[in-house]
Amino acid sequence: MALNIHLSALGCRLNEAELNQWATEFTSKGHKITQSTDDADVFILNSCAVTAEAVRKSRQQLSKMHRDSPSAKIIATGCFATLEPERAMDCGVDLVVANADKSQLVAQTESMFDLDSAPAMAMEPEATLFARGRSRAFIKIQDGCRHRCSFCIVTVARGEEVSRPIDDIIKEINALYAVGIREIVIAGVHVGGYGSDLDTDLKALVEAILAKTDVPRIRFASVEPWNLPEGFFELFTNPRVMPHMHLPLQSGSNSVLKRMARRCRTEDFAELVATARASHPNFNITTDIICGFPGETEQEFADSLAFIESMNFGHIHVFPYSKREGTGAARMPNHLDNATKKQRVKEVEMLAKQSRQNNHRSLLGQQDRVLLENRTTNDADGRPLRFGYTCNYLRVAVKGTTEAGQIIDVRIDRLDASGEYLVAGQEV
């Protein structure tokens, strides 16, 4: 019996990377990954719990799956399902697979249907159909974190650090490259800590990817700004390593960072950013900022704004602080009201918009290489534009009809009237 499996994820890039791993295992056993919800025998949601809103969305999506497809089996995994399995079951879920048991998810799914053996014909054991039609894939290199930031529930849900062997990662990348993936994004809970349990490190992993794969673009997802190995930024002199990193700052105030139990102060962060930008002239740094952390004073917020402005970030994900039971921050005094948090988010977002547009304008008139994606639009005259991303991860709409998945040379002509993306013409 072959199953039709529908996979979906909420939250972090690591959740998306895990979908691809499961899809590969399911197809190798003869099951089918389906994008349609109409013919699915099984729905699997990799849930999120990073904020109260993420929990709400996880519950909402599970309930919708059960309501729309009552005869299908619903499997919940991920951080929400791990932290609150009873609430997940209340949404019509048939099986909860905790983060610690994710390696057994496929086997547990088959056991729900009393499948004692794999279907007669296995499909593409080395390259999942889940990746077809895509140009970018997220690669899970490790799980868990040895640190405990006071606001973070993810480290509770994900547990201790566990790194994947380099050979396993190389095998996955080569399989994805074979089905058309042209950019891999390295993901994990604490990417900089990769290899702490394997007597290796992140730099050695990337060097192995460069030596043993042909994937043309290597990028990093979110990387905490500490524990990076010595000489790490030397990697970016290789044109296959994209000059962009998402380094979560969380606050530009050292006193707030101390209450957050962060291992990086503003001066450390500034030094790291300077080192990164010295490795490539267009190195793009993006970040996360939490507004309204417990006890954040007007002066602390003003200090944070000033530091954020000095960093010239290419993009900022801005969040109001969200209380998560089970974390140290939830027990702190002086929680701010929602109106104050909302106002501070608005101020950071205004600063972020200006900083983003400054970064976009810095590329005007330059040449770059863009990986084209599926999304398209038209210009004011009705001519086709296809979206993609520059090497340093700035969004660009490219004139012409070149198919998705191609990496092409472009000339950056202008900033769109919306200020949200660049417009480029192809270089001949």
133-182 pLDDT, tens per residue? 578 999 999 999 999 999 999 988 999 999 999 999 999 999 999 989 99
Name the residue type at position 188. G
Tell me: pLDDT of 128 over 90: no
Boundaries of CATH 2.40.50 in the chain?
A: 367-426
pLDDT at 379: 83
pLDDT bracket for residue 131 (50, 70, 90) = low
Tell me: pLDDT of 118 over 60: no
Q: Report the CATH architecture of 367-426.
A: Beta Barrel (2.40)
Closest C-alpha to 101, from 51, 159, 54: 159
The third-level CATH classification (topology) of the domain covering 129-361 is pyruvate-formate lyase- activating enzyme (3.80.30)
Boundaries of CATH 3.80.30.20 in the chain?
A: 129-361
Tell me: pLDDT of 115 over 50: yes
What tens digit of pLDDT does each residue of 30-86 get? Answer: 999 998 899 999 999 999 999 889 999 999 999 999 999 999 999 999 999 999 999
pLDDT at 83: 96
At the fourth CATH level, the homologous superfamily of domain 4-112 is: Response regulator (3.40.50.2300)
pLDDT at 113: 86
Give the global pTM: 0.91
Closest C-alpha to 84, from 410, 374, 324, 350: 324
- The mean predicted confidence, pLDDT, of the chain is 93
pLDDT bracket for residue 130 (50, 70, 90) = low
Name the residue with higher pLDDT: 99 or 179.
Answer: 99
Once rounded to an integer, what is the mean pLDDT over residues 90-115? 93
pLDDT at 126: 45
What tens digit of pLDDT does each residue of 237-270 get? Answer: 999 999 999 999 999 999 999 999 999 999 999 9
pLDDT bracket for residue 87 (50, 70, 90) = very high
Boundaries of CATH 3.40.50.2300 in the chain?
A: 4-112
Tell me: pLDDT of 121 over 60: no
Tell me: pLDDT of 368 over 70: yes
